[in-house]
Chain A
Amino acid sequence: MTASRRLAHARQLGTVLGLVVLSGVLWAMTPHFLTVPNLLNVAQQTSINAIVAIGMTFVIISGGIDLSVGSIVALSGVVLGLALQNRVLLPFALALGLGTGLACGLANGALVSWGRLPPFIVTLGTMSIARGAALVATEGRPISGFDPAFRSFATGHVAGIPSPIVATIVMYAIAHIVLTRTTFGRYVYAIGGNEEATRLSGVSVRLHKTMIYAVSGLVSAVAAVILTARLNSAQPIAGMMYELDAIAATVIGGTSLMGGEGTLAGTLVGALIMGVLRNGLNLLGVSSFLQQIVIGAVIIFAVLVDTVLKRHRT
């Protein structure tokens, strides 16, 4: 194994180790942490952020950023909620909700690729537009009360495991295969690693960039379905700050903001670290104000470790 491979592995192991140590500390401090109900609770609470972070990982590996995911969660949820409220059949309502996320992602991608605008600006704009659209469509009020068939997306179980957890695992499995075994996945890394060389290799960088942002929009809409079902309510103010949680999970998981490298396994562990940390701090009775400080410190620490490792590499 080469030195850089070893380091990449060390980085992955480091993240996993961080999660294990963190869990151990929490277990020692509060025995309730390591109980099945609590762990299932953590996993369920993590699932939304973990799903949104899938798209974020694609985008960040390709060298971009997507600030609009939280607002896309809200808008997709609202469209879904309005459809259900107006007695649209469930499959069509789902299609409308998911289609909304996909359309937002396509718009982001098209503006980044063909409009040649910086992703930061485009998705910042979409973040505001989608949020505004969600508020306009609902006049700022939540839409509540859906039938049990829909709510089972969040409350149901598959083989005894809560369905949001199953959904998360399935989506990570699919996304992992896409990222590592398909040409699309290869191009995601190639574009992030060297966009110009990729273009000169005959790859349509514009098309694939558009697809990358579309993936991000679509998985955000999937997260919206689960969130709406769990809350039994579609809220235009849902998904606030989700973009920051997703970016945090991605970078804690070892994906470089410079693009070209990163793994979904890392992102999943990153999302779990954030979920476990929040849960543990809650169990310990740490105020939510103080929690924000701790989480911020963890993000900076994780990236610091990454940067130090890279400095040794070159």
Chain B
Amino acid sequence: MRPPVLEMCGIRKSFPGVVALDGVDLSLQAGEVHVLLGENGAGKSTLMKILSGAYRKDAGDILMNGVPAGIQDPGDALAHGIRVIYQELSLIPHLSVAENIFLGAAPTTFGVLIDWRQLHDRAARLLSDLGMEIAPATPLHRLSLAQRQMVEIAKALATQAAVLVMDEPTSALTSREVDQLFALIGRLTARGVAIVYITHRLDEVYRIGHRVTVLRDGRHVTTRLLSDVTVAELVRLMANREVGEHFPRVRTTPGTELLRVEGVGRRPLLSDITFRLHAGEILGVGGLLGSGRTELARVLAGVDRPDTGRIHVDGEAVDFRTAADAIAHRIGLLPEDRKAQGFVGGFTIERNIALPHARQLAPYGFLPAQCEARLAAPLVKELHIKGTSTQPVRLLSGGNQQKVVLGKWLAGHARIFIFDEPTRGVDVGAKVEIYHLMNRLTAAGAGIIMISSELPELLGMSDRLIVMHRGRIRAEFTSADATEERVLTAALGLAS
């Protein structure tokens, strides 16, 4: 038997504070579609980034056709015939299909002038070879998303490719476009290309996959033939884990209703969202990336306006036009991307904490001396924010930055907190500290909406849970009847 096209053995990779991959194996046969499964953060992307040369592995071996392949950078990976199609496409909208396919490698005359005829001929031949009905001269921006993806694949295959990695290729496609894509994948495997297929859609897996590898917490769980494994087993394999982490949730009896959301929708990512949040409660919001979780957070924080539905705060109907309206109703958003949305990196801790309240601090527009410091000092102490008063927040650790964002809302006596991925980019010690802070907030009568991709965190900290799928609430659980398996099943949109 021939050696596998690609073998990755015992791949290890750690980042400060986390082991992302802990001895992962993956092998690919020519002409195989190998499905890679795992929750968010299981290590799929890291593994593929190592394969494509974007990251360097700490340990382990990569062999191509039985020969060690020293992949140090993206150039090496390309030279070995490894091609990755990313979720965000890397094409240039205003160039033609043919120009995009041969970007940086266009045929030339005398080494300088682009040989347009040859460029178009070669692009046309490649496209028809792949069974794509796209005219090479079409500007890219006129194509549908699915067609662009086809062009992206054509670009990847313009030079000899042995391994093609596809990361959630169908996430934006209609079912007919998915059929076209799968037909193309069939033609590619018939030519001996090996495909690594990453997806969250378990229904697709059986249509095109031959084997499946499941990763969990950076470890290799299993590799099986898809014909030997059921959907239910796959879900269990993805979710099942030892209870090693500590979630110090102190439950309180829920009090009065703080927030009522009725039939809220915003095209195209959010529809018919209905739930309540009570004082003293943590409501977990689960769902995969793109399920509408972050869009929900933005609507509740007044950043985006809903098209439909009603929001009530303390029993009173509200209509948020701007973030300021939500803040006035004592709602605070701790955004997913702190650096881009949570704080001003060049500002000190106190200026960041005071920013939403500057108007209240300065009755005639003039900020009294030290007023920001006076507002911030007790919060810096209470939240144990480590940093000096002159230090820009940019230079603080992720955990301290998160506390600064929380401090912004505590300074305004917020009662409804929306934590979007509260512990992302935060080290383990600071994580537990943030959980303790959440406990203190709820003990003091606040309500928390906690959006998280980390199932253990979601299950460990929430009193109730809603799970979103394609912009809708797919399931609702109490903390007693939520299990990783059930939450994941709902998040994947499978029937439970």
Residues of chain A having any CB pair with chain B under 8 Å: 1-2, 4-5, 181-184, 186-187, 189-190, 193-194, 196-204, 260-261
Contact = CB atoms under 8 A, between A and B. Distances in A.
Interface of B: 301, 303, 322-324, 326-328, 333, 335, 340-347, 351, 355-356, 358-359, 361-362, 365-367, 388, 390-392, 395, 408
A196 B323 CA distance: 11
A256 B327 CA distance: 31
A15 B155 CA distance: 51
A220 to B, nearest CB: 23
A197 B390 contact: no
Given A189-B346, A190-B344, A198-B355, 8 more contacts: A186-B351, A186-B358, A187-B358, A189-B344, A189-B347, A200-B303, A202-B326, A203-B356
A199 B301 CA distance: 11
B356 A201 contact: yes
**What is the predominant secondary structure among interface residues of chain A facing chain B?**
helix
Contacts of B301: 200
Contacts of B345: 193-194
Nearest to B372: A186
B347 A193 contact: yes
Contacts of B323: 199-202
Contact of B367 (A181, A194, A197, A201): A181
13 contacts: A1-B390, A181-B367, A182-B362, A183-B359, A183-B365, A190-B344, A190-B355, A193-B345, A196-B341, A198-B355, A201-B408, A202-B326, A204-B324
A182 B365 contact: yes
Between A182, A200, A203, the greatest number of chain B beta carbons within 10 A of the residue's beta carbon is seen for A200
B333 A200 contact: yes
Contacts of A4: 391-392, 395
A197 B339 CA distance: 8
B340 A196 contact: yes
Contacts of A183: 358-359, 361-362, 365, 367
B412 to A, nearest CB: 9
A-B pairs, 10 with minimum CB distance: A202-B324, A193-B344, A201-B356, A202-B327, A183-B358, A194-B344, A193-B346, A201-B355, A260-B346, A183-B362
A184 B367 CA distance: 10
A46 B352 CA distance: 36
A193 B347 CA distance: 8
B395 A190 contact: no
B340 A194 contact: yes
Contacts of A204: 322, 324
B95 to A, nearest CB: 23
B194 to A, nearest CB: 41
A183 B351 CA distance: 11
Contacts of B367: 181-183, 186
Given A186-B351, A193-B346, A5 B390 contact: yes
Contact of B344 (A2, A197, A202): A197
B344 A203 contact: no
Nearest to A186: B358
Contacts of A181: 366-367
Contacts of B366: 181-182
A203 B390 CA distance: 23
A200 B323 CA distance: 6
A221 to B, nearest CB: 22
Contact of B346 (A2, A196, A201, A261): A261
Nearest to A183: B358
A14 to B, nearest CB: 19
